[in-house]
Amino acid sequence: MFILYNAAQLNYWFSSACNYIITSILSFFLNKYFTFAVKGWNLFMVAAFAANIVCCYGIAYGIAKPVMRYALHSQSIKIQENGALFAGMCLFTVLNYLGQRFIVFNRQKREKK
């Protein structure tokens, strides 16, 4: 994400979106098998995972950009957006974990079925 933004000079939204599109595919399998130890899968799980990623991304990066623009108003746009990329990454990680833990790979919901 930071390489795309700083070295390739791609914009904030494209750089961050590319990062999450690529890493989310890997994240699904790693979290499914290792973090949450889920054996099977179904269409709901895949759809819920994709919806969770989209929602977390929109919330995290949508909040991070204006907050960093305000907090770093005396800095250059490049500094503001790098700060927003970092803050968005941190916020996304927390939101994504919660969404996967309580919605996508929720053990209690699986055991009731």
Give tens-digit pLDDT for 49-71: 999 999 999 999 999 999 999 99
pLDDT higher than 70, residue 110: no
Separation of alpha carbons 99 and 80, rounded Å: 28
Paired tokens of 60: 């995290």
Paired tokens of 98: 């919660």
- pLDDT of the residue at 38: 85
Q: How many structural domains does the chain have?
A: 1
Distance of CA 50 to the CA centre of its chain: 10
Domain of 47 in residue numbering reads as: 2-112
